[in-house]
Chain A
């Protein structure tokens, strides 16, 4: 079974609007971490936001927030007020006791 699933290969959003990128995960561990990374066309992976499995509040970092629903095993990334520079690949990742796994990614395109 896939440990990390990103079901949206591509997403479009109008500049200044909000967008949600989906991520579901699978683990039997009680303690794990969830991460989102951005990969622009330059290729570098940029850390955006972290959510711990024991964190009761959803993580926020500036325009990024993580909608963490533990019972549903989902960790969706919400980007508010999209900017043209947000156009990139976005990867969800999970670290459990076994290893770190990445999803297949979602390509976000922000339209002017």
Chain B
């Protein structure tokens, strides 16, 4: 079974430029997550999709970040314009499904290799 795919693996941009990341989840996984991991910290959830609908985007800086999952499969995360503090690893994860009030193993999240973004 193929894992979560992400591209690119590395990206270096100047501040105020835009950047996009792509993620393809494990086949059959309904739920997709984007995380931001700043060096030395745990991952922070940015957005969660269930199929092509947004479940939680409360921590997404919507003035500059956007994400979509149009056909309920792969997803893109965009930053426009980038700031220095956006330098981080952006992780994509997927799970079979998530249902409120369940908290069971179907929400075990499997992660891709991440995209390391450096903003200069």
Contacts and interface: CB of A to CB of B under 8 A. Distances in A.
A52 B108 CA distance: 11
A108 B100 CA distance: 33
Contacts of A100: 33, 45, 48, 107, 109
Given A52-B103, A101-B45, A103-B42, 6 more contacts: A33-B107, A44-B113, A45-B111, A46-B111, A99-B45, A99-B56
19 contacts: A31-B102, A32-B103, A33-B103, A33-B108, A37-B111, A43-B89, A43-B113, A43-B114, A45-B111, A93-B42, A97-B103, A99-B58, A100-B45, A101-B45, A102-B43, A102-B44, A104-B41, A105-B41, A105-B42
A44 B42 contact: no
Contact of B114 (A44, A93, A96, A104): A44
A35 interface: yes
Max chain A C-beta neighbours (<10 A), residue from B41, B58, B103, B112: B103
A97 B33 contact: no
Given A43-B89, A99-B45, A31 B101 contact: yes
Contacts of B65: none
A29 interface: yes
Interface in B21-50: 33, 41-45, 48
A96 B104 CA distance: 10
Interface string B80-120: 00000000010101000010111111011111111010000
Given A45-B91, A105-B42, A97 B100 contact: yes
Contacts of B44: 102
A64 interface: no
A68 interface: no
A102 B42 contact: yes
Contacts of B111: 37, 44-47
Nearest to A46: B111
